[in-house]
Amino acid sequence: MKYRSRRSKIKVRIAILAAILILIVVAVLFHLNATRVLKAIAEASMRSITTEAVNDAIYYTLSDEVRYEQLVTVERGEEGEILAITSDPLQINRIARDAAYMSQQNLQTMSESGVDVPLGAFFGVEAWAGFGPRIHMKIIPISNVSCRFVSRFEGTGINQTKHSIYLEIVADISIIMPSGSSNFASLTEVLICESVLVGKVPDTYLQADIFGDGYSLAPPA
């Protein structure tokens, strides 16, 4: 009787231990799935906020139309041939600096309100992520915004080259949430101005960018 009783106790302990292990595994999987879904929702929300913040910054920074001649000077020879193409570094840096600063400020202001996450997302099942009442979740975004001008040359006819100037804004975002952190980058490219150059453009300009590395705005300390 004592032997059977001891075996029964061992079986009960094994069953309890197995149940505890199963609960731990289920809890871990539930946490991982919920974290993955919450990160995806928070990242999608921040991508939308980033796009809106950057577009608003570009709109206000370039509210006055920028002409090609304000950014680029084309030097020609006596016969009209193109000798050199140079950019105005002061104007370029001013626009890039203002766009980066305004994007940074917009991101901080627009992300302070956090994001609203449906209750179904906390269960870790993607099919349920859009259901249930919305729960407000606070997020801490850390961003680094960099701006640079990019020039591209495209042949449009005999001795005619279209020179297009773009402003690229790259926002590197790190999201810190109670469920974990997420990192992503958002690239926005806007055509600033363009002009058709008549005359042969030197190959050195066709194969390289006439602008520098751009302007970067680090997150505030």
- What's the burial of 39, exposed, middle or buried (CB within 10 Å: 0-12/13-18/19+)? middle
Q: Which residues contact 115 (CB under 8 A, 6 or more apart)?
A: 41, 42, 45, 46, 136, 137, 139
- By percentage, how much of the chain surpasses pLDDT 90? 0
Look up residue 212 and give its amino acid: G
Asked if residues 54 and 188 have their Cβ atoms less than 8 Å apart, the reply is yes
| CB contact burial 5-31 (16+ within 10 A = b; e otherwise) | eeeeeeeeeeeeeeeeeeeeeeeeeee
Q: What is the pLDDT of residues 86-121, one digit of tens each?
A: 888 888 888 888 888 888 888 888 777 767 666 566
Q: What is the pLDDT of residues 122-159, one digit of tens each?
A: 655 555 555 566 666 676 667 788 888 888 888 887 88
Asked if residues 113 and 107 have their Cβ atoms less than 8 Å apart, the reply is no
Q: What is the pLDDT of residues 172-217, one digit of tens each?
A: 887 776 666 777 788 888 888 888 888 887 777 676 667 765 555 5
Strand order from edge to edge, sheet including 215-217: 180-198, 160-177, 140-157, 215-217
Where are the chain's structural domains?
Answer: 2-217
- Residue positions counted in the chain: 221
